Chains A and B, each alone.
Chain A
């Protein structure tokens, strides 16, 4: 695989993404909302305490929060919910970029001239995949850093420690990219079969379902995933993504694109 060719593909993808206002808005708006929303929620929670049963349930899973005051515990629990939202960004942004990119090329029939050049399909796929993956992962990371900076000001030291503990770091920096990769793979596979980016996003959005499941489990307080849990989930998602990638590479075969993609 030649890096110069992959970079050429990636560069063109980003140039087109920057000129696609709809796509750009779906990349830029949610990170801003996700940075601001926890701050608003913190204000809404105020000095309220959690119900005693829920507080006990949380402390059995997070004994390190035992020193928190009732309001800090309520704040920590509320803020903890936002970790999964930082996983949604690397999930839906690569999905949006990949589906717009591949289906856009199908509709414009611009892949044939590219495939007629001395380029290997794996280089084309790599360029497209990286171009889709990087903005999503970076958006997740940059939003997280902004969120942490705001949290240090708004929440105080106790909650600052919550959003920078092992769970958050493993979630944002390991599971996030793994979910992003699975999203790209879903985008490639679905885009090979459908001709409308919105339909592809709806179908490909199935990769977000496990993340939403994680949101629900955490919100009820029945399971607050720790660092090891996030590392294990990252490995599972990565393994599934690599299996999916093999299917994606087969679908991205030169002949398949030319003769079967309609």
Chain B
């Protein structure tokens, strides 16, 4: 195995990375840097190229164009070195159902060249970390989906990789199992692991990721959830009234400085503004003066879901997601 290049703050780097299957580009022009200890989310719909991107970055498949490197090792020219430095949770756990949890991990420890003592220590550490130690000698065919997923994550961490790739870790799991897996990822995040999380679960990405890369046959946009909200988010003041506001009250609101669109929907008056906090007192005063009975005032942030639709150029239609006209 090749000696590692000088360690830098960048764990993963891709430049102009692309992969074509036949005539179709699955992904193209991926430029990306992931810092050590960062959690990057790859967010996109099914078929957007997330799994292909993960496979390219883990040296499972060769790029058609461009380059990528993990810890400075090139995926094209040093694939064995890359594979030794990444851990991957594939879309399905892919465990050997007739073998025990411990034997499954031991097999992978051997594949990664860990000696017997290190294998034993790490297997115990990770099985305890994920609450599976008590069931270490049971065959994994008897495990629940959540337990299998946790064991698969343990398998991805066994050789202490520089970057952990989690491909749809909660897909096809029931809410309880998904919660358990998300908690496991949160544990890794707190431990400072560098993680690339491919998902189409917006809440998961919002909660777990430092930055989010929107994927659709390439990277559409990469930014932190906060920056995405700052750049793309629209904020508003939502005021619930005891009764519908009068046209005069709405007209009075529109005269105030810093106010955008004012609309009443289902008894809630929604006032868009660039800085809702600063205009809130004036809006409340104006409504009270116009005879409005205020029940609740709150500041609404744009959800990641709305930002996702904006960035990906889709909008929810009556029959699901539609492309914009």
Q: Does A116 contact B (CB under 8 A)?
A: yes
The residue on A at minimum CB distance from B159 is A117
- Asked if A117 and B98 sit within 8 Å, CB to CB, the answer is no
A12 to chain B: closest residue by CB: B107
A78 contacts partner chain B, Cβ-Cβ < 8 Å: no
Chain A: minimal CB distance from B91 (Å)? 8
How far, in Å, is A27 (CB) from chain B's closest CB? 16
A259 lies within 8 A of B108 (CB): no
Asked if A215 lies at the interface with its beta carbon under 8 angstroms from chain B, I say no
21 A/B residue pairs, CB under 8 Å, sorted by A: A4-B110, A5-B111, A8-B110, A8-B111, A15-B98, A19-B139, A20-B98, A108-B95, A108-B97, A109-B92, A110-B94, A110-B95, A113-B94, A113-B155, A116-B60, A117-B83, A119-B83, A119-B111, A254-B61, A255-B62, A259-B61
- Counting CB contacts under 8 A, is A225 at the interface? no
Interface presence of B96 (CB below 8 A): yes
Task: Check B98–A112 contact: CB distance below 8 A.
Answer: no
A258 at the interface (CB under 8 A from B): yes
Nearest A-chain residue to B91, judged by Cβ: A109
The answer to whether residues A118 and B112 also contact, given A16-B98, A259-B21 and a CB cut-off of 8 A, is yes
Of A19, A113, A120, A259, which is within 8 A of B90 by CB? A113
Q: Give the docked Cα–Cα distance between A255 and B81 (Å).
A: 18
- Please give the residue numbers on chain B whose beta carbons come within 8 Å of chain A beta carbons, in ascending order: 1, 21, 55, 58, 60-62, 80-81, 83-84, 86, 88, 90-92, 94-99, 103, 107-108, 110-113, 139, 152, 155-156
A 98-120 binary contact with B (CB < 8 Å = 1; else 0): 00000000001111111111111
**A259 surroundings in chain B (CB, below 8 A):** 21, 61
| Residue pair A112, B84 in contact (C-beta under 8 Å) | no
**Given A111-B94, A113-B108: A118 touches B55 (CB 8 Å cut-off):** no
- When the two chains form their complex, are residues B94 and A109 in contact, meaning their CB atoms are under 8 A apart? yes
**Total chain A interface residues with beta-carbon distance under 8 A:** 25
Q: Which residues of A contact B60 (CB under 8 A)?
A: 112, 115-116, 254-255, 258
Q: B91 to chain A: which residues have CB within 8 Å? A: 109
Which residue, B55, B80, B95, has most C-beta atoms of chain A within 10 A?
Answer: B55
Those of A1-52 within 8 Å (CB) of chain B: 4-5, 8, 12, 15-16, 19-20
Complex contact B107–A108 (CB within 8 A): no
Which residues from A are CB-within-8-Å of B107? Answer: 8, 12
Chain A residues within 8 Å of B112, by CB: 117-118
CA distance A19 to B21 in the complex (A): 39
B residues less than 8 Å from A8 (CB atoms): 107, 110-111
Given A8-B107, A119-B111, A110:B98 Cβ within 8 A: no
**Cα A255 to Cα B94 with chains together (Å):** 17
A110 CA to B98 CA, complexed, in Å? 12
Q: Which of A15, A20, A110 contacts B103 (CB 8 A)?
A: A15
A113 to B148, CA, bound (A): 14
Report A-chain residues with C-beta under 8 Å of the C-beta of B61: 254-255, 258-259
A118 to B60, CA, bound (A): 10
Is A116 a contact partner of B83 (Cβ separation < 8 A)? Answer: yes
Q: Are B99 and A109 in contact (CB under 8 A)?
A: no
Q: Please name all residues of chain A whose beta carbon is closer than 8 Å to the beta carbon of B110 when the two chains form the complex.
A: 4-5, 8
**Contact status A110-B108, CB under 8 Å:** no
